[in-house]
Amino acid sequence: MLRAAAEPTRLRILALLSREELAVLELCRVLGQSQPRVSRHLKLLAEAGLVERFPDGAWVFYRLCGPGPARALADQALALISPQDAVLARDAERLAGVGEERSNQAAAYFADNAERWDEMRSLHTAEAAVEAAIVEAAGEGPFQKLVDLGSGTGRMLTLLGGRARAAIGLDLSRQMLNIARAQAAAAGLAACELRHGDILATGLPDGGADLVVVHQVLHYLADPAAAVAEAARLVAPGGRVLIIDFAPHDLEFLRAEHRHRRLGFSDHEMERWLAAAGLTDFETRALPPSAAGGLTVKIWGATRDAARVRLIA
């Protein structure tokens, strides 16, 4: 592990992956090196157990390894680097540029498609069946506070908001928020607040919601695990997190045409993120597509254990 981490480029890769999971070509852009060379460095880091490799359709992503001796060594090595290191500072600037480019492309996509969003989403699978399953997974309520992260056109708010005494929806797209506000008003949701905000850093208080929903958002994100952690942070003891997204698939056109970054998520990956965020009582539901070649929608649910929180306190 020490030999793998000691080479300068590989140390730079570890520093970049400590910020977010990245595809090989994104690392090439930041490092300014060829794909074969970067792939060789990644192979050595993976063999040493310092990074994890996971294919996603035609792309391959890498992230730092999970908790354990290798992760402790990587974290310790990175902590010893000077914050003023010029090379890593330049890498961070380039990574920010890659992220900004992704964000601009996503913003343009959402702005162009805001009014057709529900129509486009309905192409994936039978929406009525998905919504019925979401209502069942959420439970009868009533909920003191519902938080919808990445609320889009506000469909989750209008679907579940009637069971909540208060609701908050966050989204980075102002066009989406305008539609969501109109939808919430038409549904008579007087206690529903729509905010412009980042679901990775909501600014909302810890444990303030008893239901947090993340609906068809994670596949757009560079760091979906961070969004899961933020959702978990917001949920109160005894409260519930619902994540709705796609099972793994190989429809590559969704990357280019619809700005999907990840082609679905496995149960193992999702449950690991939920467990790392301190949630328990995992439930998984699968809703197959209504037509061959479509997308399977998954609903993952988990709970903040009230008894365990009281014990820790």
pLDDT of residue 310: 41
223-249 pLDDT, tens digit each: 999 999 999 999 999 999 999 999 998
Residues above pLDDT 70, as percent of the chain? 90
Higher-confidence residue of 66 and 309: namely 66
pLDDT of residue 235: 96
> Is the predicted pLDDT of residue 60 greater than 80, yes or no?
yes
Would you give the end-to-end CA distance of the chain in angstroms?
A: 38
Q: How many CB atoms lie within 10 A of CB 87?
A: 13
269-306 pLDDT, tens digit each: 999 999 999 999 999 999 988 777 778 999 999 999 86
The C-alpha atoms of residue 80 and residue 15 are separated, in whole angstroms, by 11
Within 13 Å and on the Cβ side, how many CA atoms surround 100? Answer: 6
- Confidence (pTM): 0.71
Higher-confidence residue of 226 and 101: namely 226
pLDDT of residue 120: 52
pLDDT of residue 311: 39
Confidence band for 107, pLDDT divided at 50, 70 and 90: low
The C-alpha atoms of residue 89 and residue 22 are separated, in whole angstroms, by 17
132-161 pLDDT, tens digit each: 999 999 988 899 999 999 998 899 999 999
> Is the predicted pLDDT of residue 116 greater than 70, yes or no?
no
pLDDT of residue 58: 77
Q: Read out DSSP for 102-116? A: HHHHHHHHHHHHGGG
Domains in the chain with CATH codes? 2-81 (1.10.10.10), 116-312 (3.40.50.150)
The C-alpha atoms of residue 209 and residue 235 are separated, in whole angstroms, by 5
Instruction: Report which secondary-structure segment, H or E, holds 174.
Output: helix 174-186
> Is the predicted pLDDT of residue 101 greater than 90, yes or no?
no
Q: Find residue 297's DSSP bridge partners.
A: 246, 287
Higher-confidence residue of 102 and 226: namely 226
The C-alpha atoms of residue 79 and residue 64 are separated, in whole angstroms, by 14
Higher-confidence residue of 259 and 260: namely 260
Peptide bond into 288 cis (omega under 30): no
